[in-house]
Amino acid sequence: MNHEVVKECTNLSDEEKITFPEVVRRLAEAGIELYYTDLLAPSKTYYANNTSYTVECSFQSKKVADTFNREGVIDAIRKIQSGQIQYQECMKKIMASGVISYIVFIKGRKVIYFGRRGEQHVEEMPK
């Protein structure tokens, strides 16, 4: 696994210097199959060829709401997709909507967002 690519993608995301589609493209080119973002830790764990690598990340918000609000999650996703907000604001909004973690399945082209009680929202990635 190319640790430099995953560190760079994590840092550029945190600094809002790269978009999600660009992150996915770069990670796919590096052979990354999926990554797990833990909003409580906060960290991202990347997976490729039965190996993993965890990178600390920074979010401006540290508080995750107790209840899961699917509509709030969807609203944040639509706003970042349309360019109305950037990464850190999106993270604030999904955390305020009760998301504790999410998994990006690069090969499967979907993201699953999880709440504290197992709630989830599945978002298919545009092609």
pLDDT above 80 for 90? yes
Q: Is the pLDDT of residue 5 over 90?
A: yes
Q: What is the mean pLDDT of residues 67-89?
A: 95
pLDDT value of residue 58: 83
CA atoms within 13 A on the CB side of 30: 21
Q: What is the mean pLDDT of the chain?
A: 93
Sign of the Cα pseudo-torsion (101, 87, 35, 55, in order):
negative
Do 110 and 59 form a contact (C-beta atoms < 8 A)? no
The pTM score is 0.93
pLDDT score recorded for residue 83: 92
Residue with tokens 């999106």: 90
Average pLDDT on 10-30 reads 93
Instruction: At 127, list the tokens.
Output: 């092609």
CATH node for 3-122: 3.30.1810.10
